[in-house]
Amino acid sequence: MQVMIYPVIAILLLLLNNLITTYVPLRIFQTDLYFIPHLLLIYLLILTVYKNPKIALILSILTGILCDVYLGNIYGLYTFGFIISVLLMDQLFKVFYKDIKMMIVLLLFFVMLFEHFMFIIMKILGFISIGYFTFILTHLVPTLLLNFLFIVIVFPLLLKLLDKYSN
């Protein structure tokens, strides 16, 4: 059962990501704000720390390819980002204690890191033309706020679900 539940949750979170992304950008005070959910990335990182990094790595490859084909303008961007995030998270939690506060901070840090990675690659390749300060105000801050809410809501539910099906 455990072998099937991990990919099913990943696919459901990917679909939920796409559903939420359909309402982006949100126009507030004559400014477009981009609230980008990263539920799949958060799930992969939680799976890395609390369950099995090898399963998280395999899922990051598979779901990264799926995201690249379905969402991406550049093939390999999501796959590479997911793989690097899972490997870094695995190494960090060999040093840190698995405290919930530390986990929330690191999840937000990885969302920020992933957004910066996407911004830099898109900027280098010329797909976007906004400046860094505009990126911070219209993309990064709203994304971090949205993902913080998701972490607070989804994090405990995912832990309970993973504990339930891993036994």
Count of domains forming the chain: 1
CA distance 120 to 100: 30
Q: How far apart are CA 64 and CA 70, in angstroms?
A: 10
Range of the domain at 143: 2-166
Average pLDDT of the segment spanning 45-63 = 89
Strands (E) across the chain are located at: 26-28, 31-33
Higher pLDDT, 58 or 73: 58
The reported pTM is 0.88
The residues, any chain, with a CB within 8 Å of residue 70's CB and separated by 6 or more, are 18
pLDDT higher than threshold 70 for residue 72: no
